Each structure stands twice: as C-alpha cells, then as structure tokens.
Structure 1
Amino acid sequence: MEIAPDSALLVIDVQKGFDDPSYWGPRNNPAAEENIAALMDAWRESGRPVVLVQHASRPGSVLAPDQPGHALKDFVEERRHDAPLITKTVNSAFYGTPDLAAWLTARGIGQLVVAGIQTNMCVETTARMAGNLGYDVLVPLDATHTFDLAGPAGLSLTADELAAATAVNLQGGGFARVVTTAQLLSAAAQVTA
C-alpha cells in the first residue's frame, strides 16, 4: 500500500456527544479513538494534512451547536494544531463549510483517508462521495465506530453488523479500499523513512 505524501486524513465527527450511551445505545470498536489518535499523530509527524469535520445537528440533539456534545473530543482538539475545520449539517463532509472539495483541489490532493464516527453514516457517506468524485479513498475501519440501529418492520443490526456492511459496500462497490490502522501507519512510516 502506498500513502501519497499529501494524502489527507479526514477525521469526521469525533465529538463528545457520541459518548452518551443513553442517547445512542450500544457501540462497537472501543479502540476507535486510540486508532484515530495514532493516525492523527502519524499524519502530523509526516507533514501530511489533517482535516477535521464537525457535525452541527438540529436543536435537541446532543450534537447541536448549543450543546456540550457538539465539541470535539479532547484528544482531537489537543491534536488540532492548524488543521482546517469543516462544519456540516448532513452526512457528507463534501456538503460543509468551508468547501472540502475546493480545499483539496487547491492543494492538488487526490488521496483521502477517512476515519471517525459513525462508520455507516458520515464516514461511509463521505467515502462514497469521495469515490464518486474520483479520489483514491482509504477507510481504516478500525479507526471508526458506530452504534446498533433499528430499521423498518422490526429489523435491527448491531454496530458490528453495520460496520461489516459498510466494509462490503465501500470496497465491494468500488468506492474505497478498506484497510487497517496498522497498515496505514506502516505505509506512512515507509514513505517518511
């Protein structure tokens, strides 16, 4: 695996409001935050760009701008440095402010690594759209997490089942390559060694 020298790491919606199990229910992948932090550190050390994305939900949500849960988690804020911040109100980071595609185009960036919360929502939607726009997209599934979800007619899936479906959708559908954090860290270290 090759990581471009200017590969951008998108850290999506790693916000305090996702720490409320009474609101979201059971989650998967307790190592997600540790893996996101490792990727942020590796990208910063190698001089690659990091872009933060923050969801601004409607009033009443734990992610609404007037709620404490809107804030980025401390480990992300501590690593923010000069990273640009995209604010969005929908699932795709490409529909945010400032314009993500314009920012990437202005820098000639063609490869994206998409990590964050939730695996099957904003991470998957952003990765699908990035793939459609022609970016080379890598998704370290172990640097994401999601929650159990109920659907129509009593159908429900666990967070692990949803993450597996996302992996199949993204790679099987040709939107992105699903990888691990360890693979990315190894590849990033080889390029900068």
Structure 2
Amino acid sequence: MRNDLPALIIIDMQEAMANPAAGQRNNPDAAERIARLLGAWRAADAPVIHVRHISRTPGSLFWPGQPGVQFQEALAPLPHEHVVEKNVPDAFIRSGLERWLHARGIERLVLVGVSTNNSVEGSARSAGNLGFDTTVVADACFAFAGTDYAGQARSADEVHAMALANLDGEYATVSDSASVLHCLFDAT
C-alpha cells in the first residue's frame, strides 16, 4: 500500500442506501463514480477505507443482522482493505480511524459516500479539525430530501449543496471525481 497517496474513505455505501425507504436522493450516478474512484485507488495501490454504519436503534435499516447493513456488492471491501464500523455519523468517533491513519503516516484523505449532510459532513469536519488534508468529492456523494429547521421542505440537491458549502474552504476542499482522478494519476 502506497501511504504517499491519499486514502479513499468510502462512507456508508451499504445496501440500506439503495432501499427506496431511505428517501428521495440526488446524484443518481454517485455509486458509479465511487466505483470508478475505487478502481483507480486499487490500481494505484493507494489506501482504501470502507466505513460501515451499524445502528443502535432497533428497526433501523442499519440494525445488525439486517440486509441493509451489507456493503453494496460493487463497492465491497477486498480482504486487505480496512473496514471501520461506526455507530454515529462521524467515522472518527470511537472507531480507531484517526489512530489507523496516523500509524501509517497518511495525511491526505478523499471522502465519498452518503449522506452528504450527515456522515460525510460529520466525518469531513472531524478530519479537517484533526489536521488531515481533506477532499470531499461532490459528485461521488449524495443526500436525501429533508425539511429545514424553519419547516421548509428542501430538495436533495439543496441539502447536498448546503452541506458542501458548509465544508468547502473551512474543513475540506470540495472537488469533483474527474479532478480527483486527474490528481491521483499525476501523483502516481
């Protein structure tokens, strides 16, 4: 594994996210973009980390033993790739992720996955606060429609865009998959 390249962190790309019960989402091609990034990381022998959410709420699509907990087949980890399990949105909380990265001298991170305004945003905020050089790939993440604090319905695109705006320049750099791939191949 080449620790001089950024680690690709794939957040919560589990079967539950493909379930219509999860809600109306944006970026329908996000999984294909994540798969393309994953293929490039594997070809470059760069570090890959898969984050899996395990809920503590009975009845959740992410409750242990439910089919929704499994990784989506096209994005499933290889035996040598690191898997992190989390119980809260932030992949750094009580998971050992920070320690794992530091032990390998990894300082640059590329985050993809779901949902932009929850687990991706929470993890990117921690990564930035912990001093990691963090990139969030906007077109390889997605969000779900929701209602804001004032009771206004917001589309998945609006939720996604606001989460990216919260991160860009403060905790992370927001980029797109083509640019990230270009930078990765320039470094190899």
Corresponding residue of 1:88: 86
| TM-score normalised by L of structure 1 | 0.91
Contact 1:127/1:170 (<8 A) preserved: yes
CA offsets 1:8-56 (integer angstroms, 9 cap, x no match): 11000000011122x2221100110011001111111111100000000
**Letter matched to residue 6 of structure 1:** L
Distance 1:80-1:96 versus aligned 2 partners, 3 A rule: farther
Q: Does the aligned pair in 2 maintain the 1:149–1:159 contact within 8 Å?
A: yes
The structure that is helix-richer by fraction is 1
The one-letter code matched in structure 2 to 1:176 is A
Letter in 2 for 1:63: F
Q: Does 1:61 align with 2:57?
A: no
Pairwise mapping of residues 29-178 of structure 1 onto structure 2 (< 5 A)? Answer: 29-57=27-55, 58-77=57-76, 79-97=77-95, 99-172=96-169, 174-178=170-174
Q: Tell me how far 1:153 sits from its aligned partner.
A: 4.6
Q: Percent identity at matched positions?
A: 41
TM-score (norm 2): 0.94
Q: Which residue of 2 aligns with 1:9?
A: 8
Confirm or deny: 8 A CA contact 2:138 2:175 kept in the other structure: yes
Aligned residue pairs total 185
Matched-pair contact (CA < 8 Å) for 2:4–2:106:
no
Deviation readout 1:97-130 (Å, 9 max, x if unpaired):
3x00000010111100010011110001000110
Structure 1's unaligned 5+ residue stretches are none
Find the aligned partners of 2:67 and 2:158 in 1 and give their Cα distance. 30
Separation in structure 2 between the aligned mates of residue 51 and residue 155 of structure 1, nearest angstrom = 36
Contact 1:86 1:96 in 2 (8 A): no
- Paired AA for residue 66 in structure 1: G
Cα separation, 2, equivalents of 1:108 and 1:38? 25
SS at match of 2:92: helix
After superposition, the CA RMSD in angstroms is: 1.3
Does structure 2 conserve the Cα–Cα contact (< 8 Å) formed by 1:138 and 1:177? yes
Structure 1 counterpart SS, 2:27: coil
Q: Is the 8 A contact 1:87 1:96 kept in 2?
A: no
Distance 1:143 1:10 in 2: 11
In 2, the alpha carbon distance for the partners of 1:94 and 1:181 equals 23
- CA distance in structure 1 between the partners assigned to 2:31 and 2:145 by the alignment: 18
Q: How far apart, in 1, do the equivalents of 2:149 and 2:108 lie?
A: 36
